[in-house]
Amino acid sequence: MGCSSSLPDRGSGRLVGPNVENGGAADAKNLRVKLVLLGDSGVGKSCIVLRFVRGQFDPTSKVTVGASFLSQTIALQDSTTVKFEIWDTAGQERYAALAPLYYRGAAVAVIVYDITSPESFNKAQYWVKELQKHGTPDIVLALVGNKADLHEKREVSVQDGMGYAEKNGMFFIETSAKTADNINLLFEEIAKRLPRPALSSSSSIQNP
Amino acid sequence: MMPEERFNVRHAHKPRRDAYGFALRPQYVQTYQEYAHIYKEEEDERSDKWKNFLEHIEKSSQSCSLEKAHTEELPAEATEQKAYREELQAEPTEQKAEIVSESDEEGNDKSSLKSISEGSSERDPKKEAQLPKETGKSKVQTWSFIRSSLSSIENMMSIRVRKQKNMKDEHIVVDKDHLPSIEEVPSQDAFEDGQEEDIYLDASSGATSVSNRESDGLKASGEDEVVDGGVCNSVQADQTKEDVANGIHPEPLFPWNQELESLVHGGVPRDLRGEVWQAFVGVKARRVEKYYYDLLAEETDPGESMDNDNSCGAFRKWRKQIEKDIPRTFPGHPALDENGRNSLRRLLLAYARHNPSVGYCQAMNFFAGLLLLLMPEENAFWTLVGIMDDYFDGYYTEEMIESQVDQLVFEELVREKFPKLVNHLDYLGVQVGWIIGPWFLSIFVNMIPWESVIRVWDVLLFEGNRVMLFRTALALLELYGPAIVTTKDAGDAIVLFQSLVGSTFDSSQLVLTACMGFLAITETRLKELRDKHRPTVLEVVEERARAKKWKDSKGLSAKLYSFKHDPTITEEKSTTEEESANGDVSQSKSDSCNLDEMLKGLSLSSELDSLSDPQDQVDWLKVELCRVLEEKRSSVLRSEELETALMEIVRHDNRRELSAKVEQLEHEVAELHQALEDKTEQEAAMLKVLMLVEQEQKVTEEARISAEQEAITQKHALYVLQEKYDKAMSSLTEMEKRVKVAESMLEATLQYESGQAKALSPRSLPGSTQGNPTRKIPLLSFGLGWRDRMKRSNDSKSTNEQSDPPIPQEETTPTPQEKTSPTPQEKTGEEVQEHVEGGSDTQVFD
Ligand SMILES: Nc1nc2c(ncn2[C@@H]2O[C@H](COP(=O)(O)OP(=O)(O)OP(=O)(O)O)[C@@H](O)[C@H]2O)c(=O)[nH]1
Ligand SMILES: [Mg+2]
């Protein structure tokens, strides 16, 4: 009696995975996405996250030690919501040894460089390669040239950034955490590029 | 007297910063204000306790032979310090007070740190190093000895320092072959005087800065009272060192150690903290005079620093990172104004030179900043050296091996201590390492409120190892684990965790939970676990290094090529090339450093010293130069050969490795497939069993239902029967009543009949006796009395009459018939007629 009704539940529960509670039936409408920010130290990763999550720009942000976590939910035009679970990592080279801990299982990686620093652009390319090799398969990669407000000090051209991104099948955008330019757009565009569970059975979105 | 108190007063009405001058997050302002009172009370209490304690141990140390060591110590210090301090402060407290009052006058934004750094920045640090005697002229203190009342503690901890150094010395000698490279960098810098060079050679290998001197001192402990100060005799001292090495405190010598420990758990008073920390870290035993200034001189001397930059790009990289990080270290802290930042910069650069195996690592900026708030610059330097080189040895190096090891160790401990929490985190897909990684790397700075950070540091520095790091992290999990278990998704769990941990204002509770709740976490236990997990980390690190080398080999060959053709611009070219080639340059950079070192440093300086005539020197140098160039060339060739060989090897290696990996992976995949099949089979079996069980259940259920129904029908039947029975019973009683009525009527009739017969004639008697039974027969079927009577009459009359069927109609008619037909013949005739109709023989009567 009670047994026969619990059987199908067991089966479906396993298919959907452990994080059904919040999504319920509207899973395809409410996405949860693990996103990791990578890039050289001082390019403005923490500032981008703080701008996106808290809407603030603190010119004297703190050095990130290890990594820090923030989350933010956005609503899209098609009435779906996307909850970004953002890991902001430390930029210094030696902390790269700890980065796999954070980018493993991430559905999105945002690789940031500073348009006034060619060195940071090189570092961004290193991260792209690293993620292509060791990141989640089907990971959505975004290349971000930050500090676009400092155009008079620009040393990496838009063409260079865009060209590299295109070659590697990445989404490209230039932002400024200081003026908030393109910050929200960056995350909205990422959200649009996510594989939907309804359309494809990619598990990278649902499962951490 | 410390700057923090002033911050407190200043912001009392609207605290955006806490008592230490650190920014408060707006959401915690309220809580902080609530706790500020508690902090104040606790502070008063511990001030008294410490005062009593220090008085007590000072007395007891004087009663020991310590007194002798102590008094000898002072003159020794004085001579040491003569060059530095013209106005030797007998009582450092006094001086500090001076600084504070000075800065108070200057304005509230100033702090002791400011005045310290102000003074040192007034002068060119180079000059300062070259002319250390002048430092005394400025009233600002860049170094100060801690107050004498703390010297007993200092002595106890110094033993620990020396023991560690001895151990490390051996360690490094053993390891020398594996660490040939970067360690020797500073040794090439020419020092005028041999003694200094000596120090540098030691210093370059990081932790061993003072070791030669110190270990010499230990060997000749009888001669050098200062070094062994506080130890009553050398035999005992050896014992103590043994104990310290085993993690046991030297209790026989310092009977108050236990008391000190409990005081430390309760927190160090604010105005003592800077000095107590130095005592714990053993700054006095670590300090080498002038060392800090020499490091600074190296940094600011343009010729030398250029040389350094070129010879090793790593240093340039650290400097760049330090520059990026200085404005992002406690931004807005009143003490970290321009002078404070200069101080911070000098400290970090000096450390990077002191220990190139660490150089500069993000997080150190926070440690250095914290220390600078509590003590003069050089004291902060030596405290930082102690923390980085001993407490956190191997933590912040390029590979960060020990920090990764600790994370694995901690994860194991969490699994053991909090299985429920770990289960939940596993379920949510949250890794423990994500959360505690930053705690460990920052030693809780910026993770928990400042009062708590500092209380944890009190214990950590006292204990001399990282045990407190683990205990505190476990305590935080214990405090907040139950809340975390209620979360429903990974993001919520981490956010909740962060915010709870960030609001741990109850620092006493935290420290107490940490120190009392996790006594099983000891250094010995941690060491075991570290040894267990280290191979895993090393494997990964080696894997990465191999991959890196493979990637770098291209860049390396290009570098070597240019090296060969244009030796003068090599260094610069190679570094820029590396940087543009890929982001991961450290490996190849240090390679180039090594090569450089080997070529340049080949016993050049020592031989040069032995030649006195300048012309001779020039000639010798020329010859030497040619030789070096030659050697360089051949080395380049050799290295190219080696490189190609290496590349071959790597390629082979790689192939073999790859195929092995592929095999392994295939194997794994097969295993997983197998496992999956097994699982599905099991599941199917389970399903079957479930179905069977279910069916059985169904059958049983049906049986039960039908049984129930039957029971109901039976009950119903029973009820019906009962009703029938009742009816039958009532009709029976009815019948009986009627029978009685009929009987009495009959009797009455009989009496009447007999009365009539008597009255009419005796001959009618037989007729009447004949007629009686026929009339009575139908009634007899119900009345027993009648049967008896009938029997009697049957016996007396003919047996034929018995079988005669009774005719009820006759019952009601006898009296009128008898009345209307008084003759018995007539009556018999009638009866015969009736009998014929009924089919019976009438002839019997005739
Ligand atoms: N002009 C300008 N400056 C920016 C911008 N974003 C960040 N910055 C500055 O760059 C500095 C570094 O930014 P962070 O966000 O701390 O850099 P990060 O990438 O997080 O660095 P790490 O934590 O060391 O990895 C900040 O102090 C800001 O002043 C921007 O869009 N425009
Ligand atoms: Mg950051």
Residues of B in contact with A1 (CB under 8 A): 697-698, 701
A108-114 and A171-174 beta bridge pairing: unpaired
The B residues from 482 to 541 touching A (CB cutoff 8 Å) are: 488-492, 494-495, 498, 541
Average pLDDT over residues B432-447: 92
Find tokens 């910050």 and name the residue: A183
Name the 3-class secondary structure at A156: coil
Determine, yes or no, domain membership for A100. Answer: yes
pLDDT the model gives residue B50:
80
When pLDDT is cut at 50, 70 and 90, the band that residue B626 belongs to is: low
Chain B CA closest to residue A91: B362
In chain B, how many domains are there? 1
Torsion of CA B401, B406, B408, B414, to 10 degrees: -170
pLDDT band at residue B45, thresholds of 50, 70 and 90? Answer: confident
pLDDT recorded at residue B11: 44
Can you give B81-150 as a three-state secondary structure string?
HHCCCCCCCCCHHHHHHHHHHHHHHHCCCCCHHHHHHHHHHHCCHHHHHHCHHHHHHCCCCCCCCCCHHH
CA distance A126 to chain B (A): 6
Mean pLDDT: which of B580-584, B622-626, B796-800 is highest?
B622-626
Q: Phi and psi dihedrals of B249, rounded to 5? A: -80, 150
Q: Measure Cα distances from B470 to A178, B223, B459, B526, B708 in Å.
A: 38, 41, 12, 9, 66
Q: What is the largest CA-CA distance in chain B?
A: 202
pLDDT at B202: 37
Task: Return the top range by mean pLDDT from A99-113, B308-322, B798-812, B828-842.
Answer: A99-113
Whether B199 has a pLDDT exceeding 70, the answer reads no
What is the atom index within ligand 1 of the atom nearest the CA of A63?
A: 23
Do the domain assignments include residue A46?
Answer: yes
- Judge: A93–B586 Cβ closer than 8 Å, yes or no: yes
Given a cut of 80, whether residue A193 has pLDDT beyond it is yes
Structural domain count of chain A: 1
- Residue B817: per-residue pLDDT: 43
Residue predicted with more confidence, B184 or A34? A34
Higher-pLDDT residue of A104 and B603 is: A104
**pLDDT at site B164:** 63
Ligand 1 atom with minimal separation from the A146 CA: 31
Verify whether ligand 1 is closer than 6 Å to residue A44 (CB atom): yes
If DSSP codes are grouped into helix, strand and coil, which group holds residue A72? strand
**What pLDDT, on a 0 to 100 scale, did the predictor assign at position A17?**
32
- Helices B194-204 and B291-300 cross at an angle (nearest 10°) of 90
Higher pLDDT pick, B668 / B56: B668
Q: How many CA atoms lie within 13 A of B563 on its CB side?
A: 26
Residues spanned by the domain of B437: 399-521
Q: Is A169 in the pocket of ligand 1 (CB under 6 A)?
A: no
Q: Strands A67-75 and A81-89: what pairing?
A: antiparallel
Task: Answer whether A120 contacts ligand 1 (Cβ < 6 A).
Answer: no
Name chain A contacts of B434, Cβ cutoff 8 Å: 67, 69, 87, 101-102
- pLDDT interval class at B767 (50, 70, 90): very low
Is pLDDT at B429 greater than 80 in this prediction? yes
- What percentage of residues in chain B have a pLDDT greater than 70? 52
Contact B557, B639 (CB under 8 A): no
Tens-place pLDDT, residues B522-554: 999 999 999 999 998 898 888 877 877 766 554
**Per-residue confidence (pLDDT) for residue A167, from 0 to 100:** 93
pLDDT of residue B334: 78
Query: Average pLDDT in the B418-438 region?
Result: 92
Which of A130-161 are b and which e, b meaning 16 or more Cβ less than 10 Å from the residue's Cβ? bbeeebbeebbbbbbbbbbbeeeeeebeeeeb
- Per-residue pLDDT tens for B372-389? 999 988 889 999 999 999
A181 CB near ligand 1 (under 6 Å): no
pLDDT at residue B474 tops 60:
yes
Are the beta carbons of A35 and A87 closer than 8 angstroms? yes
- Our CA dihedral for B295, B297, B302, B306, rounded to 10 degrees, sits at -10
**Does a structural domain hold residue A200?**
no
Lowest mean pLDDT among A107-111, B97-101, B165-169: B97-101
- Kindly report, residue by residue over B728-737, the tens digit of the pLDDT: 999 898 989 8
More confident residue, B144 or B396: B396
Give the list of residues 6+ apart from residue A195 with CB closer than 8 angstroms, or none. A138, A202, A204, A205
pLDDT at position B634 over 50: yes
Task: Decide if A77 touches B, using CB distance below 8 A.
Answer: no
Contact B388, A85 (CB under 8 A): no
Q: Which atom of ligand 1 is nearest to the CA of A62?
A: 16
Confidence at A58, pLDDT banded by 50, 70, 90: confident
Residues from chain A contacting residue B441 (CB–CB below 8 Å): 65-66
Mutation pick for ligand 1 pocket among A61, A154, A173 (CB with most ligand atoms within 8 Å): A61
pLDDT in tens, B608-621: 455 556 666 666 67
User: Which helix (H) or strand (E) segment is B436 a member of?
Assistant: helix B432-442
- Tell me whether residue B290 is in a domain: no
The b/e string for A53-77 (b: 16+ C-beta within 10 A; e otherwise) is: eeeebeeebbbbbbbbbbbbeeeee
Could you give the 3-state DSSP secondary structure of residue A145?
Answer: strand
Please give the pLDDT value at position B287.
Answer: 78
Burial B708-745 (b: 16+ CB within 10 A, else e): eeeeeeeeeeeeeeeeeeeeeeeeeeeeeeeeeeeeee
Q: What is the 3-state secondary structure (H, E, C) of B743-777?
A: HHHHHHHHHHHHHHHHHHCCCHHHHHHHHHHHHHH
Instruction: Tell me the DSSP string of B826-840.
Output: HHHHHHHHHHHHTT-
Give the closest of B398, B437, B494 to A94, CB-based: B398
Residue with the larger pLDDT of the pair B800 and A7: B800
Which range marks the domain in which residue A89 is found? 30-193
Residue A59's pLDDT band, with cuts at 50, 70 and 90, is confident
Residue B365 lies in a domain: no
Residue B136 above 80 pLDDT?
A: no
How many whole angstroms from A111 Cα to the centroid of ligand 2? 13
For range B705-718, the mean pLDDT: 89
Higher pLDDT, B688 or B197: B688
- Which whole-number Å values give the CA distances from A126 to A121, A123, B263, B401, B582, in the listed order? 9, 5, 51, 22, 6
pLDDT bracket for residue B141 (50, 70, 90): low
Q: Quick one: DSSP state of residue B17? A: B
**Residue A32: which of B331, B363, B491 has the nearest Cβ?**
B491
- List residues bridging with A145 in a β-sheet: A113, A174
Contact between B311 and B597 (Cβ < 8 Å): yes
pTM of the complete model:
0.60
- Is B443 touching A (CB cutoff 8 A)? no
Which is more confidently placed, B441 or B675? B441
The answer to whether the CB of B328 is under 6 A from ligand 1 is yes
**CA-closest candidate to residue B754, choices B775, B782, B778, B738:** B775
- Could you tell me the CATH number of the domain that includes residue B508? 1.10.472.80
The whole-number average pLDDT for the span B687-706 is: 87
- DSSP readout, B792-815? HHHHHS-SGGGGSPP-HHHHHSHH
Rounded to an integer, the average pLDDT of B133-148 is 54
- Residue B198, in any domain of the structure: no
Residue range A2-57, pLDDT digits in tens: 333 333 333 332 222 334 333 222 367 888 999 999 999 999 999 999 999 999 88
B433 touches chain A (CB under 8 A): yes
> Which atom number of ligand 1 is nearest to the Cα of residue A47?
15
Q: What is the mean pLDDT of residues B117-139?
A: 37
Strand partners, A32: A83
Q: Does A147 touch chain B (CB under 8 A)?
A: no
Which amino acid does the sequence have at B713? T
pLDDT band at B479 (very low <50, low <70, confident <90, very high): very high
> Quick check: A104 pLDDT over 80?
yes
CA B376 – ligand 2 centroid, Å: 29
Q: Taking all residues of chain A, what is their mean pLDDT, rounded to a whole number?
A: 82
| pLDDT at residue B331, rounded to an integer | 80
Q: Of B81-85, B260-264, B346-350, which one has max mean pLDDT?
A: B346-350
Alpha helices in B131-288 (DSSP H): 151-175, 194-204, 211-219, 234-245, 257-266, 270-281, 283-286
Which CATH number characterizes residue A138's domain?
A: 3.40.50.300
Note the pLDDT of residue A72. Answer: 93
Task: Please report whether residue A69 resides in a domain.
Answer: yes
Q: Is the CB of A68 under 6 A from ligand 1?
A: no
Residue B500 maps to a domain: yes
Q: Pocket of ligand 1, candidates A38, A45, A47: which has the most ligand atoms within 8 Å of its Cβ, to mutate? A: A47
Q: Which two tokens stand for residue B839?
A: 């089919």
pLDDT tens digits, one per residue of A123-146? 999 999 999 999 888 899 999 999
Asked, for residue A84, whether it belongs to a domain, the answer is yes
State chain B's mean pLDDT as an integer.
67
Distance CA B644, CA B554 (A): 10
Higher pLDDT, B412 or B830: B412
CB burial of residue B522 (10 Å; 0-12, 13-18, 19+): middle
Cβ distance B477 to B414 under 8 Å? yes
Mean pLDDT of B302-314: 55
